[in-house]
Structure 1
Amino acid sequence: MAFYEVEHSALLKSLQLLEPGVKLPSSFQLVMTYLNGAYSKSLCVMQVELEGQIVTIVTDGWTDMNGLAVINYVADARKKTYFLKSVYTGAQTHDAAFLAADIKRVIEKYDFLHVGAVVADNIAANKSAWELLQPDFPRVFFYGCACHALHLLVKDAIFMMTWLNGLISSCKLIVSFFITKVWP
């Protein structure tokens, strides 16, 4: 739900049926007070829970439903994963210099993390970014994601099975329908 929706009169009336004295914050209060407070609290919790642990930062580039390029960053520590940041990159090309600067920005922003490794897609730009980052982070191990490599392998294998082309086309039509008609 968008933050401005909290000011819609129908929402307030609906909630007042359940709790007559309820008062909702403005969208400004929601963003500036409550969201910032929740973010600060989550950082404190993460800092306490990860004290003394070595984490792996995992990056994942993808495209959202609107066709916008996004890079997500999470910290993986033993049995828990912590969301760090989501970056909409716009028209910015994901070249080695950009990726290296972005990864460095994330590592420096969360300076309380003890980063032992960074995992990313197995694309050439990431491999070049690792070479750029290695001098600044000599104790951090940079490597490609095994799942991403396996995904590419399976994708190539399926592409060679021409008898699946009809099924693949039908699946793409179904996905396209949901993206354009159900989630516009």
Structure 2
Amino acid sequence: MLDSVTGVGPGYKGPSYDKLRVHLLDDLKRECQMLVDSYRSAWREIGCTLMADGWTDQRQRTLINFLVYFKYGKRNASMLCHLFFEVIEWIGLNNIVHVVTDNATNYIVAGRLISQKYENIYWSPCATHCLNLILKDISSMAHISNLASHASKITVFVYNHSYFTGHKLRSANGRAVSAIILDSKFWDDCFTACKLVSPLIKLLRIVDANDKPSLGYVYEEMLRIEDAIKEMFK
């Protein structure tokens, strides 16, 4: 609020106490009620999910947030554009140079429409979201998924035993784990998988941190990743 008042400049006269307490508050309440009513009509049409989030504050009071989730209009790119346009106009067209969204199809369409309407605004998908999707796709590959399953068996077995000796694994599970550990192809595949995803993990850590701007690192590291993939599969 103070930033908004400062932006107006000298000569601004704030609303009186009575106007804030009565008229403006009533207007905002009416606006919020209209928004809630529009959502209520959607709940009757498509249904909704009631969610609750509870915690205890420092004074040991139990607090619960109730949230209503529904997908009305979420997949509609035109509705997203309308919302983005309102926010852009509210912030100020000349104050925005970059818009970042996730990589869902509706947001991609909305982002492109934003760039078409406002030539000075550059849109890009969230780098963190893109990298997470890439890693998710890699993990769903049958070969990688099978490799992860074998590695998980080793990890679970070791954590569930206080001592571990490769020559005394007499149980069926122990023999299976021993066979995985003694399989040289398993370790070769682990090395290949690590070589493939380690640049992606490194880049994810860079873009997911708040230490410094990371857009330049994205392009630099993506070129390195591309070279590493070509080297592995040539």
Normalising by the residue count of structure 2, what TM-score does the alignment of the two structures yield? Answer: 0.32
Structure number with higher strand proportion: 1
Normalising by the residue count of structure 1, what TM-score does the alignment of the two structures yield? Answer: 0.40
Flag the structure with more relative contact order, 1 or 2, with Cα contacts below 8 A and sequence separation at least 6: 1
Structure number with higher helix proportion: 2
